[in-house]
Amino acid sequence: MARIVMKFGGTSMAGTERIRRVANIVRKQQAAGHEVAVVVSAMAGETDRLVNFCREANPLYDPAEYDVVVSSGEQVTSGLLALTLQAMGCKARSWLGWQLPIHTVEAHAKARIHDIDSDALLAEMGQGVIAVIPGFQGVSDDGRITTLGRGGSDTSAVAVAAAIGADRCDIYTDVDGVYTTDPRIVARARKQKYVTYEEMLELASVGAKVLQTRSVGLAMKNGVRVQVLSSFIGDDAPPADDLPGTMIVSDEEMAQITENENMERQLVTGIAHDKNEAKVILTRVPDKPGAVSHIFGPLADASINVDMIIQNVGRDKGETDVTFTVPAADLARTQAMLEDKRDSIGYNRIITDSHVAKISVVGVGMKSHAGVAATMFKALADRGINVQAISTSEIKVSVLIDEDETELAVRVLHTAYGLDAEDEAA
Amino acid sequence: MARIVMKFGGTSMAGTERIRRVANIVRKQQAAGHEVAVVVSAMAGETDRLVNFCREANPLYDPAEYDVVVSSGEQVTSGLLALTLQAMGCKARSWLGWQLPIHTVEAHAKARIHDIDSDALLAEMGQGVIAVIPGFQGVSDDGRITTLGRGGSDTSAVAVAAAIGADRCDIYTDVDGVYTTDPRIVARARKQKYVTYEEMLELASVGAKVLQTRSVGLAMKNGVRVQVLSSFIGDDAPPADDLPGTMIVSDEEMAQITENENMERQLVTGIAHDKNEAKVILTRVPDKPGAVSHIFGPLADASINVDMIIQNVGRDKGETDVTFTVPAADLARTQAMLEDKRDSIGYNRIITDSHVAKISVVGVGMKSHAGVAATMFKALADRGINVQAISTSEIKVSVLIDEDETELAVRVLHTAYGLDAEDEAA
């Protein structure tokens, strides 16, 4: 007997038929002898609909009232899943954020969970009741509804799992696990049996949209074992207890697994790509102390997230070109701000390019192995792919390239790091 | 300065533009110097959508989970109205049923309000905050969401008005008041300036769908002054304080008003029609004590509401025909039940007819005046309209006629009781 939290996203909850499929997966998990809590998202598209209503009502909306409106989507699906489970003969009930309660700090529309009362929940789960909990929502100390920000249901699931001491938190999505890279680009991409929290954090932050970054950080902090697996499985699919998806584990657990299974720890876990970056070049910026802070200070104040930065060697005496990337969605705002600050920065021209892609190589193994970056640059150079910018972290190397070369670069790197599956996938 | 509760139905809340119109009416009411609380319904069609989801999930749905799902419609509109009022520069916030709280007895899907905590509400209203309260919902003693049954938002509004000691409860609808009869049938129908609670109760129960019957009963019990008026008014409409709609008042207040304005108290207040009845005739039922209880006992047990009953004079020795009416929606169920009980009742044939209409004449004045029923029968007979059944209460006479003659009968009676306006309406 184990205690399992299961989380289902909006695509899995979109309509009666899909909710029935979800209920069936939940029912089987309980029938395997486990205590089960389920965290659900709103039906796909519903949160967008509600957010639009808020924007139409008041472009500068009060986040407290926004939370009242948008939290209703998960309220509906949690009631419907409880009803559907009951129709299958299971004992089930919903607990809304204010009912458990899920206490959050009072930052409406971007709240953080600080505590979950789990006593009532555990008592009922011990009696065989399946607990259904709306994701994304909580309640503030002054008794108002809060929400966690878009995609917050993954975080809710991990927080509930931590609060009830769950043995596993299964995140059901529309992919069946974490792959070595996007299988739509590389047919020989392999599903990973295990990745570490740190690797998952880096992959999530560079465009592998499997899990919300925050939820991975929370799982790491609380040591919650998270499995990513598919909710679109047939009746003949292996049970979740057989770990058919990808398990997110700690570095220590990963080391243990590698040792037990007598495998070599792989250097690189995944290749991610992200086409949502844009490149900005400021030409002929004065090359003197403090000049760069005139550029990046105002951007930071406006919460524009600058990623890669390159300061070229001065081409003329006392002047340099500065290149950096921002999210493509913030490009117009960035440009307007830079034009506004033209005098204080003192550049010659702004050149922008949103036709770029960021390719990232991620792996905990590179902590202890040199040469990962060198392999990357050589493999790309051999195919004539020009690297426009580079950024690195302890377990990641990212390069900026021409967007048209995205798929080629991903395939080249996937092969270069020996990630290709032996038999081509069907 | 007065304290006013304003209630808006689903048609008024259907979408951003309409909510803006509602907010404008509310804003003006506050600008006139009043403390204002607003009770809102879900957007038109939303509750039906949510109820359908519940039915699809589980035809025998758990009313506690049903309440979680369907209460979300009013949660959304209350948040949106608060946001819209804020956009106009008003101070506003929503209070959900569990937040006030609105305590109800724990009968999910048909709860009754037993208490509303109004301290926090009154304190904030005193500070100029417009309180927005979702109709239809409350919370049970064990902290679960309850709903009041369809159309319950009128009842919520009256209950809030009673709890905060409101000077007036304005119910905004898609009609601009209570008419002497349906203006679509009689062009010379007149809007009533006043009707009594009892008259409104009778009119509501016989098909004049202006107010939910329960809300009228609650208003009568608590002495809440209710005004029915239109939310579809132009900017040049008279303010609600001028009582442009219909006021629902007590019998005593009505007597006072009649005396003050030196008017004659009218005998008949309104003519209502209802095409949702069906007639059932059982032929050759044994004419002996207790026979009738074999018919109506089982119908009562099945919550089928029998209205008119006629037992014909026995046509054969020891046998009689029994005629009665039931809601047309219950006809099939009634018929199945009667066929099932054929042996214990002992009738010969069942004859049914849903092509009938009930015409009702309502007026407190008839308590003290004889001849109202006689006028009705004569007027109908003069035009050759056959009366198939009759039922009466202290302030109402109803007759069952052929459905095709509905409009004719309503017009004839409207004239017969002197209700026609002097100038034809535009």
Does the beta carbon of A136 lie under 8 angstroms from any beta carbon of chain B?
no
Judged by CB atoms closer than 8 Å, whether chains meet at A62 and B82 is answered as yes
For residue B86, which residues of chain A lie inside 8 Å, CB to CB? 58, 61-62, 65
Nearest to A83 among B61, B75, B78 (CB): B61
> pLDDT grade, residue A313 (50/70/90)?
low
ipTM exceeds 0.90, yes or no: no
Q: Which residues contact A72 (CB under 8 A, 6 or more apart)?
A: A50, B72, B75, B76
pLDDT the model gives residue A392? 86
pLDDT the model gives residue B294? 87
pLDDT the model gives residue A237? 76
pLDDT the model gives residue B357? 95
Q: Coil, strand, or helix at residue A291?
A: helix
Does the beta carbon of A96 lie under 8 angstroms from any beta carbon of chain B?
yes
Judged by CB atoms closer than 8 Å, whether chains meet at A54 and B86 is answered as no
Dist. CA A231–CA A12, nearest whole Å: 7
- Is the Cβ–Cβ distance between B285 and B338 less than 8 Å? no
Q: Coil, strand, or helix at residue B192?
A: coil
3-state helix, strand, coil in chain B (%, to 5): 40, 25, 40
Instruction: Respond yes or no on whether the N-terminal peptide bond of residue A298 is cis (omega within 30° of 0).
Output: no
pLDDT the model gives residue B313? 65
Q: Exposure string (b/e) for B212-229, b if CB count within 10 Å is 16 or more?
A: bbbbbbbbbeeebbbbbb
> pLDDT grade, residue B426 (50/70/90)?
very low
- Selected for mutation to probe chain A from B56, B60, B74, B144 (highest A CB count within 10 Å) is B56
Please state the separation of Cα B49 from the chain's center in Å. 22
Going by C-alpha positions, the residue among A357, A347, A210, A222 that lies closest to residue A279 is A357
Dist. CA A13–CA A186, nearest whole Å: 29
What are B100-127's pLDDT values in tens digits? 999 999 789 889 999 999 999 999 999 9
Nearest to B16 among A20, A56, A79 (CB): A56
Averaged pLDDT for residues A158-166: 97
Judged by CB atoms closer than 8 Å, whether chains meet at B61 and A80 is answered as no
Q: At residue A306, what are phi and psi to the nearest 5 degrees? A: -85, 130
Nearest-by-CA chain B residue for A93: B65
pLDDT the model gives residue A425? 44
For residue B68, which residues of chain A lie inside 8 Å, CB to CB? 75-76, 78-79, 82, 94, 96
Judged by CB atoms closer than 8 Å, whether chains meet at A75 and B78 is answered as no
Side-chain-side CA neighbours of residue A111 (13 Å): 31
Please tell me whether the overall predicted TM-score, pTM, comes out greater than 0.90 for this model. no
Judged by CB atoms closer than 8 Å, whether chains meet at A60 and B87 is answered as yes
Q: Phi-psi bin for B237: left (phi > 0), alpha (psi -120 to 50), beta?
A: beta
- Selected for mutation to probe chain B from A72, A78, A130 (highest B CB count within 10 Å) is A72
For residue B83, which residues of chain A lie inside 8 Å, CB to CB? 54, 57-58, 61-62, 65-66, 69
Dist. CA B169–CA B135, nearest whole Å: 14
Judged by CB atoms closer than 8 Å, whether chains meet at B79 and A98 is answered as no
Nearest-by-CA chain B residue for A65: B79
What are A193-221's pLDDT values in tens digits? 999 999 999 887 766 678 888 899 999 99
Question: In angstroms, what separates the C-alpha of B82 from chain A's closest C-alpha?
Answer: 7
What are B334-386's pLDDT values in tens digits? 999 999 999 888 899 999 999 999 999 999 888 877 788 899 999 999 999 99
Q: Which long-range contacts (CB under 8 A, 24 or more apart) does A401-406 make?
A: A401/A356, A401/A357, A401/A359, A402/A355, A402/A356, A402/A357, A403/A275, A403/A355, A403/A356, A403/A357, A404/A355, A405/A357, A406/A185, A406/A273, A406/A275, A406/A357, A406/A359
Q: Exposure string (b/e) for A146-165, b if CB count within 10 Å is 16 or more?
A: bbbeebbbbbbbbbbbbbbe
Does the beta carbon of A89 lie under 8 angstroms from any beta carbon of chain B?
no
For residue A72, which residues of chain B lie inside 8 Å, CB to CB? 72, 75-76
Q: Does position B170 have pLDDT exceeding 90, yes or no?
A: yes
Supply the angle between the helices A153-163 and A213-222 in degrees, to the nearest 10.
Answer: 10
Nearest to A99 among B65, B71, B143 (CB): B143
pLDDT the model gives residue A207? 62
Averaged pLDDT for residues A29-48: 96
Dist. CA B114–CA B161, nearest whole Å: 14
**How are strands ordered across the β-sheet holding B319-327?**
B309-311, B319-327, B277-286, B350-353
Does the beta carbon of B144 lie under 8 angstroms from any beta carbon of chain A?
yes
Nearest to A72 among B58, B75, B144 (CB): B75
When comparing pLDDT for A312 and A192, which is higher?
A: A192
For residue A78, which residues of chain B lie inside 8 Å, CB to CB? 68
Q: Does position B424 have pLDDT exceeding 60, yes or no?
A: no
Side-chain-side CA neighbours of residue A205 (13 Å): 19
Does the beta carbon of A24 lie under 8 angstroms from any beta carbon of chain B?
no
Averaged pLDDT for residues A330-341: 92
Q: Coil, strand, or helix at residue A175?
A: coil
The DSSP result for A313-382, as a single string, is PPSBTTEEEEEEEEEGGGHHHHHHHHHHTHHHH--S-EEEE--EEEEEEE-GGGGS-S-HHHHHHHHHHH
Averaged pLDDT for residues B300-315: 80
- Is the Cβ–Cβ distance between B227 and B244 less than 8 Å? no
- Selected for mutation to probe chain B from A48, A61, A65, A140 (highest B CB count within 10 Å) is A65
Q: Does position B259 have pLDDT exceeding 80, yes or no?
A: yes
Which CATH number does B3-262 carry?
Answer: 3.40.1160.10
Q: Strand (E) positions, B297-402?
A: 309-311, 319-327, 350-353, 356-362, 389-393, 396-402
Question: In angstroms, what separates the C-alpha of B87 from chain A's closest C-alpha?
Answer: 5
What are B344-358's pLDDT values in tens digits? 888 999 999 999 999
Q: Coil, strand, or helix at residue B3?
A: strand
Nearest to A50 among B76, B87, B94 (CB): B76
Q: Does position A424 have pLDDT exceeding 50, yes or no?
A: no
Does the beta carbon of B42 lie under 8 angstroms from any beta carbon of chain A?
no
Q: Does position A271 have pLDDT exceeding 90, yes or no?
A: yes
pLDDT the model gives residue B204? 77
- Is the Cβ–Cβ distance between B104 and B113 less than 8 Å? yes
Specify the pairing of strand A396-402 against strand B145-147: unpaired
Judged by CB atoms closer than 8 Å, whether chains meet at B94 and A68 is answered as yes
Which range is least confidently modeled, A109-113, A308-312, A376-380, B30-34? A308-312
Please state the separation of Cα A297 from the chain's center in Å. 27
pLDDT the model gives residue A314? 59
Averaged pLDDT for residues B284-309: 86
Dist. CA A265–CA B249, nearest whole Å: 83
Averaged pLDDT for residues B198-224: 86
pLDDT the model gives residue B273? 93
Averaged pLDDT for residues B199-214: 80
Q: Does position A426 have pLDDT exceeding 50, yes or no?
A: no
When comparing pLDDT for A188 and A315, which is higher?
A: A188
- Is the Cβ–Cβ distance between B76 and B109 less than 8 Å? no
Dist. CA B313–CA B317, nearest whole Å: 10
Instruction: Respond yes or no on whether the N-terminal peptide bond of residue B286 is cis (omega within 30° of 0).
Output: no
Per the prediction, chain B carries an average pLDDT of 91
Instruction: Report the percent of chain B where pLDDT is more than 70.
Output: 96
Dist. CA B332–CA B322, nearest whole Å: 18
Question: In angstroms, what separates the C-alpha of A68 from chain B's closest C-alpha?
Answer: 6
Q: Which residues contact A310 (CB under 8 A, 6 or more apart)?
A: A322, A323, A324, A389, A390
Name the DSSP letter for residue B240: G
- Is the Cβ–Cβ distance between B281 and B351 less than 8 Å? yes
Q: Does position A292 have pLDDT exceeding 70, yes or no?
A: yes
pLDDT the model gives residue B366? 85
Dist. CA B53–CA B50, nearest whole Å: 5
Does the beta carbon of A76 lie under 8 angstroms from any beta carbon of chain B?
yes
